[in-house]
Amino acid sequence: MYKVFVNESPLILTNKRPENNTGNVFLMEDDDISYAITALSKKVLDVAYIYDPTEEIIEKFSMKIPLVTAAGGMVRNEKGKVLFIYRNDKWDLPKGKLEKGESIEKAAIREVEEETGVKNLVIKNYLKTTYHIFKRNGEHRLKKVVWFDMTTTYSGKLIAQKNEGITKVKWKGSKKTAKALKNSYLNIKLLFDDELMQ
């Protein structure tokens, strides 16, 4: 099962047919997928399911909706504060698309550096992979983001990458993190939910 967010509403990809459905279960067909995405983005549905019996459901789905792979990091400094960026009126974590021939780890470090100015990044471990749908040139795309837990000893100036629409970069302690998450994306909240349960 995979959870793909469409305008902050979940599109669940599953190979087990949901039992309690009320007209929100669709097949892995172009028209069904398009309808489900539109219904979620317009808030006609709160949740939708794409059912297909295959095991490789995310691979099959990404043949229907073009896949964009990105990488990013949940970065902590020596004080245990988390690095946030502010873009599109939401608090987010730094991330971005892979360049040709680049490893997922290199992309994650490069994107964090470019978007925030933070150096001396070390990947501790893999965190999670999240998915969401966005529109580019009138067509839907599936964005897969591979997240890493990172640390840094950097204590220099934070530099927001303005040409990427980032207006602020901030280190946040636990109280400010909790406040920032109230104005963030569900995919980002999922990363912290997992972390708090460890």
**Does the structure show a pLDDT above 80 at 197?**
no
Q: Which secondary-structure segment (H or E) carries 165?
A: none
Looking at the structure, tell me whether residues 103 and 124 fall in a common domain.
yes
Looking at the structure, tell me whether residues 101 and 186 fall in a common domain.
yes
pLDDT digit string, tens, across residues 57-108: 999 999 999 999 999 999 999 999 999 999 999 999 999 999 999 999 999 9
**Range of the structural domain that residue 81 is part of:** 74-197
Residue 20 lies in a domain: yes
Residue 69 lies in a domain: no
Q: 21 CB contacts (<8 Å, ≥6 apart)?
A: 49
Looking at the structure, tell me whether residues 93 and 119 fall in a common domain.
yes
pLDDT of residue 56: 93
Place of tokens 């698309």: 97
Average pLDDT over residues 51-56: 93
Pairing of the two strands 2-6 and 9-14: antiparallel
Residue 57 lies in a domain: yes
